[in-house]
Amino acid sequence: MCRQVARYAPAKLVLVEQAENNLFEIDRELRGGYPGVSVVPYVADVCDSARMRWIFARERPATIFHAAAHKHVPMMELNPGEAVKNNILGTKLTAEMAAEHGARRMVVISTDKAVNPTSIMGCTKRVGELYVQQLSGRCETQFITVRFGNVLGSSGSVVPIFREQIVRGGPITVTHPDMLRYFMTIPEAAQLVLQAGAMGSGGEIYVLDMGEPIKIVDLARDMITLSGLRPGLDIEIVFTGLRPGEKLFEELSIEGEHVSPTSHPKIGVWKRRPDDFSRVCHGIEDLLTSADTSSHDEIRRQLKSLVPEYAPDQGFAVPGGASLPEAMRVGGVGS
């Protein structure tokens, strides 16, 4: 996102990142590649209200692209309170700072896993969507959400994991032979996010056209072949079973919503689904108050009260009857 924004020569590009080394690398790259752009890096946590308020007051950004999230599905099943804090509180706080400091617009990057969610990760992202949708229209800032699926080569995605497994000589681990996912490249995803952000007027959820979903096992076979090896002979493919919170396939809509075309052939827009802002706010406050102390089941119950279509998946396939942490260590890929 920063690389593509820098190409348009903004007056200033403010980077906010919790991971110091990642911030150092992108700051150095942007300063070298775009010497005419003023780049300002801040080490900060989006859940730190005092730090965020100071940054917003100092910089007064016109447009915010909010991409901070915990995204690994099985990991968030084990750490639901952290998903609540980062994916809900982080989004809520950033949105409030945007409104308080007069930002023109904020673009929230969401996920197809927010649609009829079965995972903590997907449901917390859906709650973030609900909040910014309801906040839009209550202040001058325009809040726009963009949903899409998996991004090839992004941090923690399936391609680098498969590549690493091939280099080690295998096996490649795939959760299920029928696992389907939507994919697009990093530059394409970033460009479409910018396009959707530019066309929004506030409250919309844009859905990117991800093309046809592909089978994860087919991607594994293709990567083995492209490495000059033979699937099943030189590199084995092992099926490990669905992991906590996973679906066999992802969706890009919510039942009851309706998509409309936009001026861009690869971007659709979902009509706003009415909700009670006070209900959403009270539900979020309850979640945040108990995020560090509630049981996992209680957090799931609170999430379901906010997102009725949330269906926690208790029937995932764990090889050999392994416990939840053991299932995490199996190393299957497919989310």
CA gap 183, 222 in Å, rounded: 15
**Stretch 302-320: mean pLDDT, rounded?**
72
List the one residue out of 213, 303, 284, 289 whose CA is nearest residue 251. Answer: 213
Q: Where are the beta strands (DSSP E) in the chain?
A: 12-17, 38-43, 63-66, 105-109, 142-147, 150-152, 172-174, 180-181, 183-185, 205-208, 214-215, 237-239, 259-261, 267-270
Could you tell me the pLDDT band of residue 209, with boundaries at 50, 70 and 90?
A: confident
Distance of alpha carbon 312 from alpha carbon 304, whole angstroms:
9
Lowest-pLDDT range, 38-42, 208-212, 253-257?
253-257
CA 224 to CA 308: how far, in whole Å? 41
β-pair partners for 108? 66, 145
pLDDT band, very low/low/confident/very high, at 330 (cuts 50, 70, 90): very low
Catalytic residue numbers read: 113
Q: What is the mean pLDDT of the chain?
A: 87
Q: How far apart are CA 55 and CA 98, in angstroms?
A: 11
Measured over the CA atoms of residue 75, residue 78, residue 79 and residue 81, the dihedral's sign is positive
Place of tokens 């994919």: 183
Domain over 44-150+183-209+252-313 is classified CATH 3.40.50.720: yes
Q: Domains of the chain: which residue ranges?
A: 44-150+183-209+252-313
**Distance between CA atoms of residues 109 and 124, nearest Å:** 13
Task: Please check the confidence at residue 4 and state whether its pLDDT lies above 70.
Answer: yes
Which of these, 119, 132, 135, lies nearest to 77 by C-alpha position?
A: 119
Mean per-residue pLDDT for 197-205? 84
> Is the per-residue pLDDT at 102 higher than 90?
yes
Mean pLDDT to the nearest integer, 209-223? 87
**Cα–Cα distance between 125 and 71 in angstroms, integer?**
9
**For residue 319, pLDDT beyond 60:** no
pLDDT higher than threshold 90 for residue 23: yes
| Both tokens assigned to 101 | 């400091």
Spatial contact of 255 and 193, defined as CB atoms under 8 Å apart:
no
Specify whether the CB–CB gap between 278 and 137 falls below 8 A.
no
Mean pLDDT over 148-173 rounds to 83
Mean pLDDT of 19-25: 96
79 vs 180, higher pLDDT: 79
pLDDT tier, 324 (very low <50, low <70, confident <90, very high otherwise): very low
Cis peptide before 308 (omega within 30 of 0): no
